[in-house]
Amino acid sequence: MELVPLAQGFGVEVRGVSVLDVATDAEAYKAVRAAFEEHSLLLFRDQPIADDIQVAYSRAFGPLELTKAVSVGAGSFYSRLTNVGPDGAIVPPSHRQVLVAQANALWHTDSSFKKTPALASVLSARVLPGADGDTEFTSTRLAWERLPGDLRARLQDAVATHSYANSRDQIHPDLANAEERKALPPVRWRMNWLNPTNNRRALYIASHAYAIDGMDDRDARQLLAELMDETTKREFVYVHKWHQGDVVMWDNRAMLHRGRPWDYARERSMVRTTISATAADGLDQVTPTVH
Ligand code: OGA
Ligand code: MN
Protein backbone atom coordinates (compact mmCIF):
# COMPACT_ATOMS: atom_id res chain seq x y z
CA MET A 1 0.00 0.00 0.00
CA GLU A 2 1.23 3.45 -0.91
CA LEU A 3 -0.22 6.69 0.53
CA VAL A 4 0.07 9.88 -1.53
CA PRO A 5 -0.78 13.13 0.31
CA LEU A 6 -3.78 15.11 -0.99
CA ALA A 7 -3.65 18.25 1.15
CA GLN A 8 -1.59 20.02 3.79
CA GLY A 9 -1.83 17.86 6.94
CA PHE A 10 -4.74 15.61 5.97
CA GLY A 11 -6.01 13.34 3.20
CA VAL A 12 -4.24 10.65 1.19
CA GLU A 13 -4.76 8.78 -2.03
CA VAL A 14 -4.50 5.04 -1.34
CA ARG A 15 -2.63 3.10 -4.01
CA GLY A 16 -1.99 -0.62 -4.24
CA VAL A 17 -5.07 -1.58 -2.22
CA SER A 18 -8.61 -1.55 -3.63
CA VAL A 19 -11.94 -1.17 -1.85
CA LEU A 20 -12.62 -4.82 -2.70
CA ASP A 21 -9.33 -5.84 -1.01
CA VAL A 22 -10.48 -4.07 2.15
CA ALA A 23 -13.81 -5.94 2.01
CA THR A 24 -12.18 -9.35 1.64
CA ASP A 25 -8.75 -9.22 3.33
CA ALA A 26 -8.25 -8.50 7.04
CA GLU A 27 -4.69 -7.24 6.52
CA ALA A 28 -5.80 -4.77 3.84
CA TYR A 29 -8.57 -3.57 6.14
CA LYS A 30 -6.11 -3.09 9.01
CA ALA A 31 -3.76 -1.00 6.89
CA VAL A 32 -6.56 1.16 5.45
CA ARG A 33 -8.18 1.56 8.87
CA ALA A 34 -4.89 2.87 10.25
CA ALA A 35 -4.62 5.32 7.32
CA PHE A 36 -8.20 6.46 7.98
CA GLU A 37 -7.49 7.13 11.67
CA GLU A 38 -4.31 9.04 10.79
CA HIS A 39 -5.28 11.00 7.66
CA SER A 40 -9.09 11.48 8.01
CA LEU A 41 -9.72 11.45 4.24
CA LEU A 42 -8.98 8.60 1.82
CA LEU A 43 -9.26 8.55 -1.96
CA PHE A 44 -9.33 5.37 -4.06
CA ARG A 45 -9.17 5.91 -7.82
CA ASP A 46 -10.34 3.72 -10.71
CA GLN A 47 -12.52 1.46 -8.62
CA PRO A 48 -15.02 -0.87 -10.32
CA ILE A 49 -17.63 0.36 -7.86
CA ALA A 50 -21.15 -1.04 -7.49
CA ASP A 51 -23.62 -0.93 -4.62
CA ASP A 52 -22.69 -4.33 -3.18
CA ILE A 53 -18.94 -3.63 -3.31
CA GLN A 54 -19.46 -0.29 -1.59
CA VAL A 55 -21.46 -1.91 1.22
CA ALA A 56 -18.94 -4.74 1.60
CA TYR A 57 -16.14 -2.17 1.95
CA SER A 58 -18.09 0.10 4.30
CA ARG A 59 -19.30 -2.57 6.70
CA ALA A 60 -15.70 -3.61 7.45
CA PHE A 61 -15.47 -0.32 9.42
CA GLY A 62 -18.56 -0.77 11.60
CA PRO A 63 -22.36 -0.81 11.63
CA LEU A 64 -24.02 0.88 8.66
CA GLU A 65 -26.65 3.57 8.91
CA LEU A 66 -29.98 3.11 7.23
CA THR A 67 -30.93 6.07 5.08
CA LYS A 68 -33.54 8.13 6.88
CA ALA A 69 -37.17 8.37 5.83
CA VAL A 70 -38.03 10.80 2.99
CA SER A 71 -34.48 10.74 1.47
CA VAL A 72 -33.77 8.91 -1.80
CA GLY A 73 -32.77 5.39 -0.74
CA ALA A 74 -34.79 5.54 2.54
CA GLY A 75 -34.58 2.35 4.59
CA SER A 76 -31.57 0.98 2.66
CA PHE A 77 -27.81 1.30 3.24
CA TYR A 78 -27.60 3.67 0.27
CA SER A 79 -28.06 7.43 0.28
CA ARG A 80 -28.62 8.37 -3.35
CA LEU A 81 -27.56 11.92 -4.07
CA THR A 82 -28.99 12.54 -7.49
CA ASN A 83 -30.91 15.09 -9.51
CA VAL A 84 -32.60 12.33 -11.49
CA GLY A 85 -36.14 11.57 -10.35
CA PRO A 86 -37.90 8.19 -10.04
CA ASP A 87 -39.12 8.50 -13.67
CA GLY A 88 -35.52 8.73 -14.94
CA ALA A 89 -35.76 12.40 -15.94
CA ILE A 90 -33.64 15.24 -14.54
CA VAL A 91 -35.71 17.08 -11.92
CA PRO A 92 -36.37 20.83 -12.19
CA PRO A 93 -34.08 23.16 -10.18
CA SER A 94 -36.82 23.88 -7.62
CA HIS A 95 -37.17 20.14 -6.84
CA ARG A 96 -36.48 18.76 -3.40
CA GLN A 97 -33.57 16.65 -4.73
CA VAL A 98 -31.81 19.84 -5.90
CA LEU A 99 -32.57 21.60 -2.62
CA VAL A 100 -30.99 18.62 -0.86
CA ALA A 101 -27.82 19.21 -2.92
CA GLN A 102 -27.95 22.87 -1.92
CA ALA A 103 -28.22 21.90 1.76
CA ASN A 104 -25.19 19.64 1.27
CA ALA A 105 -23.38 22.75 0.05
CA LEU A 106 -23.39 24.09 3.64
CA TRP A 107 -20.28 22.98 5.54
CA HIS A 108 -21.27 19.99 7.64
CA THR A 109 -20.38 16.66 9.11
CA ASP A 110 -22.74 13.80 8.30
CA SER A 111 -25.42 12.70 10.77
CA SER A 112 -24.48 14.94 13.72
CA PHE A 113 -28.26 15.48 13.88
CA LYS A 114 -28.94 11.78 14.49
CA LYS A 115 -29.15 9.95 17.83
CA THR A 116 -26.07 8.03 16.71
CA PRO A 117 -23.69 10.24 14.74
CA ALA A 118 -21.54 8.94 11.91
CA LEU A 119 -17.98 7.68 12.18
CA ALA A 120 -17.37 7.82 8.44
CA SER A 121 -18.97 8.29 5.04
CA VAL A 122 -18.05 6.56 1.80
CA LEU A 123 -19.02 8.42 -1.36
CA SER A 124 -18.70 7.08 -4.89
CA ALA A 125 -19.16 8.90 -8.17
CA ARG A 126 -21.67 7.16 -10.46
CA VAL A 127 -22.60 9.83 -13.03
CA LEU A 128 -20.67 13.11 -13.17
CA PRO A 129 -21.96 16.34 -14.70
CA GLY A 130 -18.82 17.02 -16.79
CA ALA A 131 -17.75 20.10 -14.83
CA ASP A 132 -18.17 21.50 -11.30
CA GLY A 133 -19.96 19.58 -8.55
CA ASP A 134 -16.69 19.28 -6.61
CA THR A 135 -16.67 18.21 -2.96
CA GLU A 136 -14.59 20.22 -0.49
CA PHE A 137 -13.01 19.04 2.76
CA THR A 138 -11.28 20.64 5.72
CA SER A 139 -9.74 19.15 8.85
CA THR A 140 -11.42 20.04 12.14
CA ARG A 141 -8.50 18.31 13.90
CA LEU A 142 -6.09 20.87 12.48
CA ALA A 143 -8.67 23.59 13.20
CA TRP A 144 -8.78 22.52 16.86
CA GLU A 145 -5.00 22.60 17.06
CA ARG A 146 -4.94 26.12 15.54
CA LEU A 147 -7.39 27.57 18.08
CA PRO A 148 -5.92 29.91 20.69
CA GLY A 149 -5.34 28.00 23.95
CA ASP A 150 -7.92 29.97 25.97
CA LEU A 151 -10.67 29.27 23.41
CA ARG A 152 -9.68 25.59 23.29
CA ALA A 153 -9.94 25.48 27.09
CA ARG A 154 -13.41 27.10 26.93
CA LEU A 155 -14.57 24.57 24.33
CA GLN A 156 -13.08 21.53 26.06
CA ASP A 157 -16.35 20.69 27.85
CA ALA A 158 -18.73 22.87 25.81
CA VAL A 159 -21.85 21.18 24.41
CA ALA A 160 -23.68 22.23 21.24
CA THR A 161 -27.17 21.36 20.01
CA HIS A 162 -27.55 20.05 16.45
CA SER A 163 -30.69 19.54 14.41
CA TYR A 164 -31.51 18.54 10.86
CA ALA A 165 -34.05 21.36 10.62
CA ASN A 166 -31.42 23.97 11.47
CA SER A 167 -29.42 23.33 8.30
CA ARG A 168 -32.44 22.67 6.05
CA ASP A 169 -34.19 25.87 7.17
CA GLN A 170 -31.21 27.83 5.78
CA ILE A 171 -32.15 26.58 2.29
CA HIS A 172 -35.97 26.44 2.27
CA PRO A 173 -38.58 26.47 5.07
CA ASP A 174 -40.28 23.32 3.69
CA LEU A 175 -37.13 21.29 2.98
CA ALA A 176 -37.38 19.53 6.33
CA ASN A 177 -40.98 18.33 6.38
CA ALA A 178 -43.14 17.61 9.44
CA GLU A 179 -42.26 13.90 9.41
CA GLU A 180 -38.52 14.62 9.39
CA ARG A 181 -38.78 17.27 12.10
CA LYS A 182 -40.62 14.80 14.32
CA ALA A 183 -38.23 11.92 13.59
CA LEU A 184 -35.10 14.03 14.14
CA PRO A 185 -35.40 16.08 17.35
CA PRO A 186 -32.36 18.15 18.42
CA VAL A 187 -29.39 16.27 19.88
CA ARG A 188 -26.41 17.54 21.92
CA TRP A 189 -22.73 16.79 21.46
CA ARG A 190 -19.50 17.90 23.06
CA MET A 191 -17.86 20.44 20.75
CA ASN A 192 -14.77 18.32 20.31
CA TRP A 193 -14.23 14.66 19.53
CA LEU A 194 -11.27 12.79 20.99
CA ASN A 195 -9.97 10.03 18.71
CA PRO A 196 -9.16 7.13 21.06
CA THR A 197 -6.56 5.59 18.73
CA ASN A 198 -4.27 8.64 18.59
CA ASN A 199 -5.66 10.94 21.32
CA ARG A 200 -6.01 13.81 18.88
CA ARG A 201 -9.01 16.05 19.38
CA ALA A 202 -11.09 17.62 16.62
CA LEU A 203 -13.55 20.49 16.74
CA TYR A 204 -17.06 19.04 16.32
CA ILE A 205 -19.37 21.57 14.68
CA ALA A 206 -21.64 21.65 11.61
CA SER A 207 -24.30 23.70 9.86
CA HIS A 208 -26.65 21.54 11.94
CA ALA A 209 -25.37 23.17 15.19
CA TYR A 210 -27.04 26.28 16.58
CA ALA A 211 -26.94 26.50 20.36
CA ILE A 212 -24.34 26.05 23.09
CA ASP A 213 -25.22 25.04 26.66
CA GLY A 214 -25.09 27.95 29.11
CA MET A 215 -24.70 30.56 26.39
CA ASP A 216 -27.06 33.17 25.04
CA ASP A 217 -28.41 31.95 21.66
CA ARG A 218 -27.14 34.95 19.71
CA ASP A 219 -23.67 34.65 21.20
CA ALA A 220 -23.68 30.92 20.49
CA ARG A 221 -24.59 31.42 16.82
CA GLN A 222 -21.90 34.08 16.57
CA LEU A 223 -19.24 31.81 18.08
CA LEU A 224 -20.28 28.89 15.86
CA ALA A 225 -20.08 31.14 12.79
CA GLU A 226 -16.61 32.35 13.80
CA LEU A 227 -15.39 28.79 14.38
CA MET A 228 -16.82 27.76 11.01
CA ASP A 229 -15.17 30.69 9.21
CA GLU A 230 -11.81 30.00 10.76
CA THR A 231 -12.00 26.24 10.04
CA THR A 232 -12.99 26.63 6.40
CA LYS A 233 -10.58 29.36 5.25
CA ARG A 234 -9.55 28.67 1.65
CA GLU A 235 -5.97 27.75 2.55
CA PHE A 236 -7.19 24.89 4.75
CA VAL A 237 -9.55 23.37 2.16
CA TYR A 238 -8.95 20.41 -0.16
CA VAL A 239 -11.11 20.56 -3.30
CA HIS A 240 -11.91 17.14 -4.70
CA LYS A 241 -12.53 17.15 -8.45
CA TRP A 242 -14.34 13.91 -9.17
CA HIS A 243 -13.36 11.36 -11.79
CA GLN A 244 -15.29 8.30 -12.82
CA GLY A 245 -14.25 5.44 -10.50
CA ASP A 246 -13.37 7.64 -7.51
CA VAL A 247 -14.35 6.44 -4.06
CA VAL A 248 -13.76 8.87 -1.20
CA MET A 249 -14.06 8.10 2.51
CA TRP A 250 -13.89 10.66 5.30
CA ASP A 251 -13.85 10.71 9.07
CA ASN A 252 -16.94 12.62 10.25
CA ARG A 253 -15.28 13.08 13.65
CA ALA A 254 -12.46 15.13 12.14
CA MET A 255 -13.64 16.60 8.82
CA LEU A 256 -16.13 19.14 7.57
CA HIS A 257 -17.25 18.80 3.97
CA ARG A 258 -19.57 20.45 1.49
CA GLY A 259 -20.76 19.81 -2.04
CA ARG A 260 -20.39 22.54 -4.66
CA PRO A 261 -23.03 23.51 -7.22
CA TRP A 262 -23.06 22.37 -10.83
CA ASP A 263 -25.31 22.88 -13.84
CA TYR A 264 -28.46 21.26 -12.46
CA ALA A 265 -29.68 20.56 -16.00
CA ARG A 266 -26.97 17.86 -16.10
CA GLU A 267 -27.06 14.63 -14.17
CA ARG A 268 -24.91 14.20 -11.08
CA SER A 269 -25.48 10.92 -9.25
CA MET A 270 -23.44 9.84 -6.24
CA VAL A 271 -23.97 7.04 -3.73
CA ARG A 272 -23.09 7.35 -0.07
CA THR A 273 -22.85 4.68 2.58
CA THR A 274 -22.44 5.81 6.17
CA ILE A 275 -20.85 4.03 9.13
CA SER A 276 -22.24 4.75 12.61
CA ALA A 277 -19.90 5.72 15.43
CA THR A 278 -19.49 3.27 18.32
CA ALA A 279 -17.91 3.50 21.78
CA ALA A 280 -14.62 2.27 20.27
CA ASP A 281 -14.65 5.35 18.00
CA GLY A 282 -14.94 7.69 20.99
CA LEU A 283 -18.72 8.10 20.91
CA ASP A 284 -18.77 8.16 24.72
CA GLN A 285 -16.27 11.08 24.63
CA VAL A 286 -18.58 13.24 22.55
CA THR A 287 -21.72 12.30 24.47
CA PRO A 288 -22.34 14.94 27.16
CA THR A 289 -22.44 13.54 30.68
CA VAL A 290 -25.92 13.69 32.17
CA HIS A 291 -26.10 15.83 35.30
C1 OGA B 1 -22.47 13.67 1.33
C2 OGA B 1 -22.31 15.05 0.83
C3 OGA B 1 -21.63 16.34 -1.09
C4 OGA B 1 -21.46 16.10 -2.54
O5 OGA B 1 -22.48 12.74 0.52
O6 OGA B 1 -22.56 13.50 2.55
O7 OGA B 1 -22.42 15.97 1.59
O8 OGA B 1 -20.58 16.76 -3.12
N9 OGA B 1 -22.01 15.15 -0.46
O10 OGA B 1 -22.20 15.29 -3.10
MN1 MN C 1 -22.60 15.17 3.69
Separation between Cα atoms, residue 228 and residue 232, nearest integer Å: 6
Separation between Cα atoms, residue 25 and residue 237, nearest integer Å: 33
Say if ligand 1 is within 6 A of residue 257 CB: yes
Average pLDDT over residues 51-79: 97
Say if ligand 1 is within 6 A of residue 252 CB: no
Say if ligand 1 is within 6 A of residue 110 CB: yes
State pLDDT tens for residues 176-189. Answer: 999 999 999 999 99
Distance 215 CA to ligand 1 centre (A): 31
CA pseudo-torsion sign 65, 68, 71, 74: positive
pLDDT at 290: 58
Please report the atom of ligand 1 found closest to the CA of residue 133.
8
Pick the ligand that lies closest to the CA of residue 123.
Answer: 1
State pLDDT tens for residues 43-52. Answer: 999 999 999 9
Say if ligand 1 is within 6 A of residue 246 CB: no
Say if ligand 1 is within 6 A of residue 121 CB: yes
Residue with the nearest Cα to atom 8 of ligand 1?
A: 259
- State how far the alpha carbon of 64 is from the alpha carbons of 45, 60, 121, 274, 278, in Å: 23, 10, 10, 6, 11
Please report the atom of ligand 1 found closest to the CA of residue 134.
8
pLDDT at 109: 98
Q: Which CATH superfamily is domain 2-83+90-286 in?
A: Clavaminate synthase-like (3.60.130.10)
Q: Which residues contact 37 (CB under 8 A, 6 or more apart)?
A: 195, 197, 198, 251
State pLDDT tens for residues 74-97. Answer: 999 999 999 999 999 999 999 999
Average pLDDT over residues 203-217: 98
Confidence of residue 289 (pLDDT cuts 50, 70, 90): confident
pLDDT at 291: 47
Pick the ligand that lies closest to the CA of residue 135.
Answer: 1
Most informative mutation of 78, 135, 240 for ligand 1 (most atoms within 8 A of CB)? 135
State pLDDT tens for residues 137-147. Answer: 999 999 999 99
State pLDDT tens for residues 113-129. Answer: 999 999 999 999 999 99
Q: Which residues contact 230 (CB under 8 A, 6 or more apart)?
A: 143, 146, 147
Indicate left, alpha or beta for 133 from its phi (over 0: left) and psi (-120 to 50: alpha). Answer: left
pLDDT of 133 strictly over 50: yes
Q: b/e map of 173-202 (b: 16 or more CB within 10 Å)?
A: eebbeeebeeebeebbbbbbbbbeeeebbb
Please report the atom of ligand 1 found closest to the CA of residue 260.
8
State pLDDT tens for residues 227-257. Answer: 999 999 999 999 999 999 999 999 999 999 9
State pLDDT tens for residues 147-168. Answer: 999 999 999 999 999 999 999 9
